[in-house]
Every structure is written in structure tokens, then in C-alpha cells.
Amino acid sequence: MIDKQQIFIRRRIEAVAGLLVLGLLLLAVRAVDLQWVQSDRLTTMAEKQRYREYTALAPRGSIYDSKGRTLAESVEIPSIAAMADEVPAERMGELASALGLSKQQVQRKLGKRKGFVWLARQVPPSVAARVMALNIPGVRHEKEWRRYQPLGPETGHLLGFVGIDGKGLEGVERAWNASLTGESGLRQVRRDARGHSLPDGSWLREPVPGQSINLTIDATIQSIAYAALAEGVRNQDAKGGSVVVMRPKDGAILAMANWPGYNPNNFRHAKPGQWRNRAVTDVFEPGSVLKPFSVAAAIASGKWQADSIVYCEQGAMKVADYTIKDDHPEGWLDLTGIIVKSSNIGAAKLALDVGAAPLYAMLDRAGFGRRSDTGLGGESPGIVLPLDRWGPVETANIAFGQGIAVTPLQLAAAFSVLANEGMYVTPKLFADQENKPEIARDRVMSKAVARQVKSMLEYATSEDGTGSKAVPVGYRVAGKTGTAQKANNKGGYSKGKYNAVFAGFAPVENPELVIIVVVDEPQKSIYGGQVAAPVFRHVAESALPYLGVAAQRGPQTDWQTMEVVAESPAFEHESLYGMSMREVRRMAALRGLRLHVHGSGWVSRQKPANVLALNQGDAVEVWLNE
């Protein structure tokens, strides 16, 4: 009996021992599985539970003008984010209140998501401080970058703007987005045993800022052009307008402004149709500003000389079934007279005599009908009919600027040909384009032809011409007015709708600036000499002294006025109160200040209060009222 009990007990002990050995073997197998077979996977899972990662945007590169002044920069600004699954449901109400949102909005943002979620991006620092003071688990303060343009509407169309995710959406910001955009960083956040995110964090990959770029734009001249254009458009109750200022010697674009403007720092307040840079995207029939190139083609043909005379049919001439008219009937005019009196019939007769091919070739070499490749997106090539579609009517019309469409930028490049004694220079907006060997410098016409046409254009701004209002005191100007009826979308022209244009350069003896002014649908007058020429003068009279181009005594100088200007003392007033737009622009140009103007009339407020404390390159802002 005892033997059987001992055997039973021994067997139970053996069974238990066997089970223990088996358990130990299973534990050993499991340990091997966990420590070696599944080690990498489990380590990764543990890391995911301990850490969370999210992408952080890098600041965009800055945009500078030709003197290194900031036109656009990225400014650090707070944003509020959360680890969605860590935010306690009972605290969503106070979180929503601090953010200025409804509780439902916060709940929708968080929902049943896990991981990183933006709650409010680019908020005022006071809002960020209010939220973080609540110390809500999972809610984080993050740093983002917001784009800021100091000149606001003055450069809005040119520079464009950046979306909330740091992507350039219009203008230079879009055209050079790849260069300006930096490399995003990767940030890691550590969590405690309960899964709550700990403060701060570490960089797995630090953000790399984008490349900065320098434009040929001069911020001061940009401000001058914008203010002059705004004043001109308002004075004429016009729909809008554009100004392009270009240095003819090297093609550098010093200013490109459109009116009405919009603030790129708050671009959502403007309609998408207001965002485009109309100086490069919109085309218009140039009208009489194209006549200098028709005259140049005639002289270059060898069939005509500057003193050759043309009978202008007393104001009406029929070509096929089409009647060409002049606003002012003329009889015999020489080629200078055709420019000065702006005769459509005279220009048409020259073109019909020379033939379509020479005129087409002249316009083609001058850059019409093709993009100027400044690097800006949306640039229009304009409209020039293929040569095989030039019949007599088309040839006659194009000779005086109808049946052809151009952009203000194309017109600036073309008039630079006349300023450069016949050489075409590719317009450039980016400073790194300046020394590229591939920049085109092509001869469009001979020096002799260019000089003759330039002389005619100077005469066109005399008291006998249509452009006399374009001439600033002490400077010689060569230029041409244009009054072009606007085309409609039905193949004809809109009744009562015109573009008033002035294109020219100064000073004549050594051109430093080509200035193109286009005013869209002026109401008080339709003529380029009355509407656009004064804007040209306002830009030139401020920009030339700023560039160090001194006024000279010449045949167009008002001597008494010039002597008063020459003898006037240096500006010694702290306040600009009561000054006119012209006086303020002159002060800013002489002192090298950047000018921001609101309204028209006389100065009623200024910032800063003491302009004498400002240094060259500083900004002064003025508000004017009638």
C-alpha cells in the first residue's frame, strides 16, 4: 500500500516537474522570439509609443530689391496644434473659448483622430499665450512662418503672395517658388507613461531656409511709380492702369506697378481677378505709340528720309472698303510731322508704300509678339498676326497701332531700342540675370535710324506735340502719346472705352529711364497727352534726381522755374503737413526715402512724425485728403 502511494506521489512530482520544464522551455522560446526574432518590430512599436513625429515647415528665402532692401520676408508667428487623442473631452469647451472658436468646431478638428492636428494656425501671440496658460494635455504651441511684404499694395501684383502652407501662389513668389521654398524639418515629441506629450522635443532633421533672391526693382522708384499712377487714375476716374520703369542700358526693371492694388499680406480680401500682374498678363492695342516703329521701318527701307513729305488726305483715306481717319485733318507732313501730329493716315501711307514684310520684321525684332522671358508666370506674348495674313487693311491699321496687341512690358523693351540707339536688350527682373551671356542684345535698327526717330520723339514732347505734359522741368524727354479704342470680344471696338498711353525715355542725351504709362478707361479725357503724360512726368521728376541725374538747361527748360528749384534750400521741416503729392515725392526723392502714399490732395497725417530723423532708405508713410 505504501509502495503504491510513493509511486503515485513520485509520478505527480515528475508530472509537475515536467510541466515546469515545459513552461521554462516555452518561456525560453518566447524570450528568444521576443529578444531576437521580433526584436526590431517590437523596438519600433515601443518607439512609436514613446515618441511622435511631425513635419515643420522651413522659412522661405527673402526677396530683396537692387539695394538690398527687404521686399518680402518670413516672420515667425505662433500656431496652436494638438495630439488629437490626448486632449481630454471635458476640456474642449475652455480650449474652444480661448481659441475664439465654438466647441463644435474644436470637436470637428479633433474628432476621433490620432496624432498631430492643427487647431489654429498663425494666431496673434496673445491668443497663443491664452491657450497655453490653460495647460491642457496634448495641446501644443508651434512656431510657423508667415510671409510679410513691407511695401504692401505697392508690390502686391509683382511679388504675389504665399499660402498658409508656405507655397507661392502668385507673382515672383510663385515663379521662383522652388528656390524660395526651404526644406521642411522633422520634429520628434516624447510621451510619458500615460501617453501624454512632454514639452519641447528634438529635431530629427532641422529645417533648411529657402534661398533668398535679389530683384532689379528699386523700392524707392517702385513707390514713386505706384503713387504717381494712383494719383493719375484717381484724377481721371479711370478703371485702372499700369506703369513700367526700365533702365534701357541693361534692361533692368526698376519698377512695375498696377492700380488698383491689393494687399498681399491679406490677399483673401481681394478677388482672384485682382491678383494678376496686368503689366505682363494683359494686352491692349497700343495705338499711336507704335508709329515710331512704322516711321523707323520706312527710313530703314531707304525709300524715305526724315524730311520726306506725305499728303495726309485732310483727315480721311480709304483703304479697300475701310476708311482711316485722323482726329485733326492734315495736308502735307514730313515724317517728323507724322509723329508730332500723330497722323494715322501718314503712318498708314508709309507702311503701305514700304510693304508689310519690313514693318513686320521691325516689330518682330523689337520684341512684339513674343514673351520677354523675365521669369514671371503668366506673361503674355501679345498678338501679332502672321505675315501671310497682312493684307492692305491690316498693314495700314498696324502701322498706327490697331490690329496688334502688346503688354506694357513689351512696350518698355521696344522703346528701350530707341533709347539704346537701335539695340534690343532683354528685360530682366532678377539680379542674377544681369551678367548672363545669353541675354539678348540684338540690333533692331541702325544707329542713324534710331537717332532720327529719337529726335522726332523729342519734338513730339515740345509745345507743338501731343506729349508736352510729359516733360519735367530741367529734363529733355523723347516720347509718344497714344489713344487706343479698346477692342471688344466680338471682333470690333467698345464704344467710349479707351486706353490712354504714354511711352518715352529721359533724359534724351543719355537715357536713364524708359517709362511706360497705360491708363485704362479714363473718364475725364481719353487722350494719352492729357491722361498718361502727366503720370510719366511725375515719375520722371522724382526718379531722375533720386538716381543722381541732375536737371540740365535745355531747349525745353522753363528757366525761371528751374532757377527757383536750383536755389531752393535743403528740406528742413520735421512735418509734411499741408504739402501736396508732388512736394512730398520731391522731398522723398531728394532724401532717398521710400514713400507710401494713401489718398490724394494734401498731407493730413504722416508716420513717423519727424522725417528729419530718417536716413536714406527709410520709409515714410503719408495720408492725403482733398
Active site (catalytic) residues? 288
* Cis bond upstream, residue 608 (ω within 30): yes
Sign of CA dihedral 80, 86, 92, 98: negative
Copy the grid coordinates of residue 337. 510731322
Provide the residue type at 338 as one letter: I
> Terminal CA-to-CA distance of the chain, rounded, Å?
128
Copy the grid coordinates of residue 178. 522652388
Q: Strand (E) positions, 340-453?
A: 423-425, 441-443
Count other C-beta atoms under 10 Å from residue 124's C-beta. Answer: 10
| CA distance to 248, 278, 320, 357, 501, per residue, from 517 (Å) | 16, 12, 34, 29, 6
Provide the residue type at 8 as one letter: F
Q: Are 336 and 418 in contact (CB under 8 A)?
A: no
Q: Are 187 and 174 in contact (CB under 8 A)?
A: no
Burial of 493 (0-12, 13-18, 19+ CB in 10 A): middle
Q: Are 138 and 106 in contact (CB under 8 A)?
A: no
Which has the closest alpha carbon to 62: 53, 51, 73? 73
Q: Rounded to 5 degrees, what are φ and ψ at 119?
A: -100, -45
| CA distance to 427, 464, 534, per residue, from 541 (Å) | 23, 21, 10
Residue 184, SS3 per DSSP: coil
Residue 271 and residue 269: Cα distance in Å, rounded? 7
Q: Are 505 and 539 in contact (CB under 8 A)?
A: no
229: CB partners within 8 A, 6+ apart: 241, 242, 243, 257, 258, 259, 517, 535
DSSP 8-state symbol, 469: G
Residue 535, SS3 per DSSP: helix
Residue 88 and residue 418: Cα distance in Å, rounded? 73
Copy the grid coordinates of residue 220. 524707392
Residue 322 and residue 48: Cα distance in Å, rounded? 80
Count other C-beta atoms under 10 Å from residue 370's C-beta. Answer: 12
Residue 110 and residue 84: Cα distance in Å, rounded? 5
Residue 254 and residue 511: Cα distance in Å, rounded? 14
